[in-house]
Chains A and B, each alone.
Chain A
Amino acid sequence: MSEFLAMGGYGAFVWPCFALAAVVLAWNVRSARRQLALAREQALRRAAAPDRA
């Protein structure tokens, strides 16, 4: 296991790359879902009170 983490001495370069990729993949999913939830919430509020919005 520790040999796997060492990546032949390049662990300090390999793992940050995969960590950054994980961050970008996760951020895009989270951001897309949040945008959709927010937009839906706003649309619902507008539909409930069309005069005030």
Chain B
Amino acid sequence: MNWIWFHKLASPPHAYGIAGRLAPWFGWPAGMLILAGLYGGLVLAPADYQQGDAFRIVYVHAPSAWLSMLVYATMAVAAAVGLVWRIKLAHAVAAAAAPIGATFTALALATGAIWGKPMWGTWWVWDARLTSELILLFLYAGVIALRASIDDRDRADRASAVLAIVGVVNLPIIHYSVYWWNTLHQPATLTKLGKPSMAGDMLWPLLAMLLGFTLYFGAVLLVRLRAEILRRERDAAWLRAELA
């Protein structure tokens, strides 16, 4: 198999340029989808038969919970690629992803708590879903702290990669917690197979927000990746030509 294209893509100057050109193609559609989702979710969607207008919190809670897991998966895959194939760009992707994922995990937990108070009657319970999502936040914090605590970049890359890979075990636990155990948290509204358990005029804003948040993550990741590449390649010859 010919891997030349792969190594070319993974070369820092190439990635730096491509990331810069690609970021707006993620950012602008993301902004438009999120605005459309906000309008659809807050204004057009009818109130829920049980939860009234409080259900609208789903439009920020579900996309942030989705991102908390998608970003972790991205980070762990990048870390594994970096470890196995010794591709420095992959470690840069993992380093760029971690802070984004941590903020969206915190957002998912915070909006969940604010939603839980009026509906469930409590801010927080130690059920399997909420606890495993909190562990995800600690995993992000651990990966970020571990990277920050090691001065040597290669060693920091490897150590945080191992931790990120170990933490991958938590992802299926979060996802299936609501099926494996009795939890206060309800099962998923959207599943890959089967009809979504949501009326159409409530559903499309949620899908717009989910896609919008996903593209937004792409845009922010690409910008952070460029910064990460600059920091790692500050003495490279290509960089001087690029900046000149």
Chain B hits for A27, CB < 8 A: 103
Chain A hits for B100, CB < 8 A: 28
Indicate with 1 or 0, residue by residue over A1-33, a CB within 8 angstroms of chain B CB atoms.
000100111110110111011001101110111
Residue pair B114, A43 in contact (C-beta under 8 Å): no
Nearest CB to that of A35 among chain B residues?
A: B227
B216 CB–A CB distance under 8 Å: yes
Nearest CB to that of B58 among chain A residues?
A: A17
Residue pair B223, A17 in contact (C-beta under 8 Å): no
Using a CB–CB cutoff of 8 Å, the interface residues on chain B facing chain A are 34, 38, 42-43, 47, 52-54, 56-57, 60-61, 64, 99-100, 103-104, 106-107, 110-111, 114-115, 117-118, 216, 220, 223-224, 226-228, 230-231, 234-235, 239-240, 243-244
Using a CB–CB cutoff of 8 Å, the interface residues on chain A facing chain B are 4, 7-11, 13-14, 16-18, 20-21, 24-25, 27-29, 31-33, 35-36, 38-40, 42-44, 46-47, 50
- Known contacts A7-B54, A24-B107, A32 near B224 by CB under 8 Å: yes
